[in-house]
Amino acid sequence: MKVFIVISALFIFIGAQAQTHVFKPLPYAYDALEPYIDAKTMEIHYSKHHQGYYDKFMAAIKGNSALESLSMPAIMASMNEFPVAVRNNGGGYWNHEFFWGSMTPGGRVLPDGALKNRINTQFGSMEKFLEEFKNAVMSLFGSGWVWLIQQNGELKIVTSPNQDNPLMNMPEGSIHPLLAIDVWEHAYYLKHQNKRAAYVDDFLKVVDWNAVSKRYL
């Protein structure tokens, strides 16, 4: 009996080890971000788009034990070494998980403490930062992402095309993403259609600044 328990525990342990890349539940209900991000968009975005990236990523790394056990940040850091399917779908998988964690029901209007001070120092004020962030979203051509990142202590607003992200092909730990907005039309078209500015304004109403502050070092 004891041997059976030990062997069972070993298999559970090995099983857990193999599950480096998991598809996490959405941290809130589909309708939790209403009226800013609508439930139908959230449902399709999470259960079709995000799930699709995850499934295709898992298919792309299947049988490659190194990729199956490497952390996502480690994979990102060496992305040029891997097939494009790993880049597109691994990026899509990681970016969306980060994006869900950047929002919260009801939002939190402003960051506080060290991050607030840093934003004021670098951008002049929270309003100016938000203006610059929105401008970056508005001027992004095609599908992609806009990020607030921390690099060498500095805050930067950067963009990435497709499902790329700022971690890709950079030394692991050198880039700290703080906030991300998905600027693919699938993120907003059902509710906002071509009105990208209205989407950014609504996104900013549900940003979880507590989470963003926690990501800030």
- Site residues (vs Mn ion, CB under 5 A): 49, 182, 184, 187
Dihedral-angle region of residue 124 (phi above 0 means left; psi in -120 to 50 means alpha; beta otherwise): left
Nearer to Mn ion (CB atom), residue 124 or residue 161? 161
Please spell the DSSP secondary structure of 152-166, one letter per residue.
TTEEEEEEEETT--T
Phi first, then psi: what are they for 147, rounded to 5°?
-125, 150
Contact 167/177 with Cβ under 8 angstroms?
yes
Nearer to Mn ion (CB atom), residue 203 or residue 216? 203
**Cα dihedral sign for 86, 171, 20, 4?**
positive
Q: What's the closest the beta carbon of residue 49 comes to Mn ion, in angstroms? A: 5
Nearer to Mn ion (CB atom), residue 98 or residue 216? 98
Nearer to Mn ion (CB atom), residue 42 or residue 77? 42
Q: What's the closest the beta carbon of residue 184 comes to Mn ion, in angstroms? A: 5
Residue nearest to Mn ion (CB): 182
Contact 187/199 with Cβ under 8 angstroms?
yes
Q: What's the closest the beta carbon of residue 86 comes to Mn ion, in angstroms? A: 18
Q: What's the closest the beta carbon of residue 143 comes to Mn ion, in angstroms? A: 9
Nearer to Mn ion (CB atom), residue 104 or residue 163? 163
Q: What's the closest the beta carbon of residue 92 comes to Mn ion, in angstroms? A: 7
Crossing angle of the two packed helices 113-123 and 126-139, in degrees rounded to 10: 70
Nearer to Mn ion (CB atom), residue 49 or residue 156? 49
Amino acid code (one letter) for 187:
A
Please spell the DSSP secondary structure of 175-202, one letter per residue.
EEEEEEEE-SGGGTHHHHTT-HHHHHHH
Q: What's the closest the beta carbon of residue 96 comes to Mn ion, in angstroms? A: 6
